[in-house]
């Protein structure tokens, strides 16, 4: 290890209080989603922080009051050396009235060796550590040969995928680290897609005609959309069990790929036969699957279910998949992310982890989802690596270990330095 880098790693420990102060500053920005549309002030702070460290800033509104910020630090020789994206979301989980916090969720404090506050684990601790690593490199006058892009995005908590907007804007690199909650594991993830399944009648009938629909000789080829949705739900349960038997992925318990019938809506009022019913489902799938693929499987399966029913055969279910926002259009997509343990960046990140923590890095899969899948979707190799654990994410008195935050910052500092010095 070079002497300047070793000195910087020691500085992280010596300046731990300053690191905690930076994380606390980020937590004080009240950015829960929902309600969202509240990240502009926090993003201004991050943009100014990065600009002071030599980054060129690109800021644009994804939604009014919710801007993305991308800082680009051009390397000394980017044609020959690897580039890196550091990615994190500035929004945090919602806070409900009546939650038993020890203090205001946005008034952070340190207790029993942990920083407490909304977003401490998910994921303003990760953002602060990565920013502090950048700060130390800048203060030391170290000019990196490869490009470093720092993305502070919005909307991850409600599926608004600020990271997707960065990809669409053309930002790319040789590798991306999503500094989200992983307990310092190097992780991939499965994926999630929501969908609406709609059963709709071509005709609308008075409730007094029900006898003609359900009794022999009634002569009315009609049905309640609510009752027919029961067959759709049964079909989804059968497919879910089939997936549990026929599909698996290392690191996931059998049957982790689920189809949750989350919300059902239907009918007009008591004087009508229900002529429409809508089912909102959430589908979890494995890292080696795509959201497009699982959506097609569900449509094909329910198509066969419908062909076996005289009414559904003529009134097949309709589908609407995904969405840009759980707030705006009641839908979301989180693509899956596979991590290659042999990828050069993954091995380098694992080496940095082992050097700092004196124990091998764990490469596994997250039981939840992050924006990291959008990098995979865009063809950018990526991994999730951040402080905090999921037991604390979204919890009352959310917290992150200060010791772990320090170690994370050291690992990121070493990885940023070494990856940007890696030849293409």
Is residue 398 annotated as a catalytic residue, yes or no?
no
When pLDDT is averaged across residues 301-305 and rounded to a whole number, the result is: 98
Please state which CATH number belongs to domain 191-321: 3.30.70.360
Q: Which of 91, 122, 180, 371 is catalytic?
A: 91
* Of residues 172, 174, 87, the one with CA closest to residue 378: 172
Q: 411: which DSSP letter? A: H
Q: Which residues contact 304 (CB under 8 A, 6 or more apart)?
A: none
Question: What does the pLDDT average to over 168-174?
Answer: 98
Query: Quick check: pTM over 0.75?
Result: yes
pLDDT band at residue 50, thresholds of 50, 70 and 90? very high
Confidence of residue 141 (pLDDT cuts 50, 70, 90): very high
pLDDT, position 214: 79
Exposure b/e, 219-228, CB count within 10 A at least 16 = b: eeebbbbbbb
Q: Quote the CA–CA distance of 136 and 35 in Å, as a whole number.
A: 35
List pLDDT tens digits, range 80-129: 999 999 999 999 999 999 999 999 999 999 999 999 999 999 999 999 99
d(Cα 320, Cα 265) in Å, to the nearest integer? 15
Domain boundaries, the chain: 3-189+337-420, 191-321
State the pLDDT at residue 251. Answer: 95
Task: Report CA Rg, the chain.
Answer: 25
Angstrom distances, CA of residue 35 to CA of 66, 157, 276, 290, 326: 11, 11, 30, 29, 11
Across residues 286-314, what is the average pLDDT? 97
Tell me which of 122, 147, 156, 183 is the catalytic residue: 156
Tens digit of each residue's pLDDT (9 = 90 or more) over 344-389? 999 999 999 999 999 999 999 999 999 999 999 999 999 999 999 9
Distance CA 23, CA 125 (A): 6
Q: Residue 154: is it exposed, middle or buried by C-beta count within 10 angstroms (0-12/13-18/19+)?
A: buried
pLDDT at 219: 78
**91 is a catalytic site residue:** yes
Report the pLDDT averaged over residues 303-325. 96
The CATH-assigned architecture of domain 3-189+337-420 is 3-Layer(aba) Sandwich (3.40)
Structure token pair of residue 61: 């509104």
């Amino acid at each position: 290890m070079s002497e300047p880098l070793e000195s910087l790693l020691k500085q992280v420990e010596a300046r731990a209080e300053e690191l905690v102060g930076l994380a606390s500053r980020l937590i004080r920005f009240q950015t829960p989603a929902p309600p969202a549309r509240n990240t502009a002030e926090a993003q201004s702070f991050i943009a100014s922080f990065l600009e002071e460290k030599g980054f060129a800033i690109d800021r644009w509104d994804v939604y009014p009051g919710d801007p993305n910020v991308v800082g680009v630090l051009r390397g000394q020789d980017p044609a020959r050396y690897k580039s890196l994206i550091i990615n994190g979301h500035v929004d945090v989980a919602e806070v409900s009235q009546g939650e038993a916090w020890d203090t205001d969720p946005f008034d952070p404090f340190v207790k029993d060796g942990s920083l407490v506050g909304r977003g401490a684990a998910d994921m303003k601790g990760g953002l602060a550590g990565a920013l502090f690593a950048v700060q130390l490199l800048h203060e030391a006058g170290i000019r990196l040969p490869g490009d470093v892009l720092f993305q502070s995005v919005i909307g991850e908590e409600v599926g608004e995928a600020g990271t997707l907007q960065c990809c669409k804007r053309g930002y790319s690199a040789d590798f991306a680290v999503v500094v989200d909650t992983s307990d310092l594991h190097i992780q991939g993830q499965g994926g999630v897609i929501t969908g609406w399944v709609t059963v709709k009648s071509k005709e609308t009938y008075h409730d007094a005609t029900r006898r003609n629909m359900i009794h022999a000789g009634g002569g009315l080829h009609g049905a309640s959309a609510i009752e027919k949705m029961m067959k759709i739900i049964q079909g989804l349960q059968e497919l879910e069990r089939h997936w549990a038997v026929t599909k698996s992925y290392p690191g996931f318990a059998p049957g982790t790929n689920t189809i949750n019938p989350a919300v059902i809506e239907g009918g007009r009022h008591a004087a009508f036969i229900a002529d429409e019913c809508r089912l909102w489902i959430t589908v979890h799938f494995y890292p080696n699957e795509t959201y497009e693929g699982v959506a097609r499987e569900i449509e094909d399966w329910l198509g066969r279910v419908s062909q076996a029913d005289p009414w559904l055969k003529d009134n097949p279910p309709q589908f609407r998949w995904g969405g840009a926002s759980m707030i705006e259009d009641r839908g979301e997509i989180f693509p899956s992310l596979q991590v290659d343990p042999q990828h050069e960046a993954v091995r380098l990140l694992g080496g940095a982890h082992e050097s700092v923590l004196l124990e091998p890095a764990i490469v596994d899969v997250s039981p939840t989802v992050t924006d990291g899948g959008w990098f995979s979707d865009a063809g950018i190799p990526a991994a999730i690596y951040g402080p905090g654990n999921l037991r604390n994410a979204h919890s009352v008195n959310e917290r992150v270990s200060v010791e772990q935050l320090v170690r994370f910052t050291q690992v990121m500092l070493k990885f940023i330095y070494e990856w940007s010095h890696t030849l293409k």
